[in-house]
Structure 1
Amino acid sequence: MSKTDILYNGACPVCSREIAHYRRLSAARDLPHRYDDLADAENLRTWGVTADDAAKRLHVRKDGRIYVGVPAFIALWEDLPGYRWLARFVKLPGVFHVARWTYNRILAPLLYHRHVKRQRKGA
């Protein structure tokens, strides 16, 4: 299995809970996964993205390619025991389009809006 890097928003309660779950699965199976929090400026330099772009969508780097959004989840789920079926299901043409639309139009903007709101409160 090739190395998989995951860039996520550790300040997002929903994101950090989900990533913590994936991290436990990765550790239990000794998977070659690295989890990078976007709060670390060095991670952002390595990934070549801004903190704002990274906060908008999940990013996964695997086999030399960067996946963003639903394709990133699929790339990660393909490695995780118990989630491979979900990766195969979400890749189905109709399901993929609905999942991508829902993530891009509803879920990701909602989480990003909450992220921006938390950032303003902390400033």
Structure 2
Amino acid sequence: MTDIEILYNGRCPICSAEIAAYRRQAEDADAPLRFIDLHQTDTADWGLTPEQATRRFHVRRDGKILSGFPAFLILWRELPRMRWLARLLDRPVLRQFAEFGYNRVAAPLLYWLHKRREARTG
């Protein structure tokens, strides 16, 4: 089975906490997931600038990179305790709401918080 690579922002406390929970579930389920902190890798290997990598959540499966809400669906489908959520939110109307929420609220808010943290820490 091919590993699914998860690219995340390890400097984001919210992202790190969420990834830690996913990592525990992946270990319990022996899921083929590999978690990669974008600050510990060359994002060019993903075809992304560091700025692009920071703005959204990314996964790579079979050489194909998915970003945003579709990336979460890929991740959740591999985790037994999250599969129900992937099935639920992959329905047409619910998926539209979830994508809107991620694209217009969650991703911009997390990016803004990241930039604010970086400005404070210099």
Same fold, judged at TM 0.5 (above): yes
1:28 paired residue number: 28
Amino acid at match of 2:66: Y
Tell me how far apart the structure 2 counterparts of residues 109 and 120 of structure 1 sit (CA, whole Å). Answer: 16
Gap runs ≥5 in structure 2: none
> Following TM superposition, by how much is the alpha carbon of 1:121 offset from its aligned partner in structure 2, in angstroms?
1.2
Preserved CA contact (<8 Å) 1:36 1:43: no
> Following TM superposition, by how much is the alpha carbon of 1:22 offset from its aligned partner in structure 2, in angstroms?
0.4
> Following TM superposition, by how much is the alpha carbon of 1:43 offset from its aligned partner in structure 2, in angstroms?
3.7
Pairs within 5 Å for 1:22-101: 22-40=22-40, 42-101=41-100
TM-score (norm 1): 0.93
> Following TM superposition, by how much is the alpha carbon of 1:46 offset from its aligned partner in structure 2, in angstroms?
2.2
Q: Deviations over 1:71-112 (max 9, x none)?
A: 000000010011111111111000010000111011110110
Tell me how far apart the structure 2 counterparts of residues 86 and 64 of structure 1 sit (CA, whole Å). Answer: 25
Preserved CA contact (<8 Å) 2:58 2:71: yes
- Following TM superposition, the consecutive aligned residue runs of length 4 or more in structure 1 with deviations greater than 6 angstroms are none
Q: Deviations over 1:8-28 (max 9, x none)?
A: 001111100000000111112
2:108 paired residue number: 109
Gap runs ≥5 in structure 1: none
TM-score (norm 2): 0.94
Tell me how far apart the structure 2 counterparts of residues 55 and 8 of structure 1 sit (CA, whole Å). Answer: 8
Preserved CA contact (<8 Å) 2:43 2:49: yes
Preserved CA contact (<8 Å) 1:70 1:99: yes
Aligned residues: 122
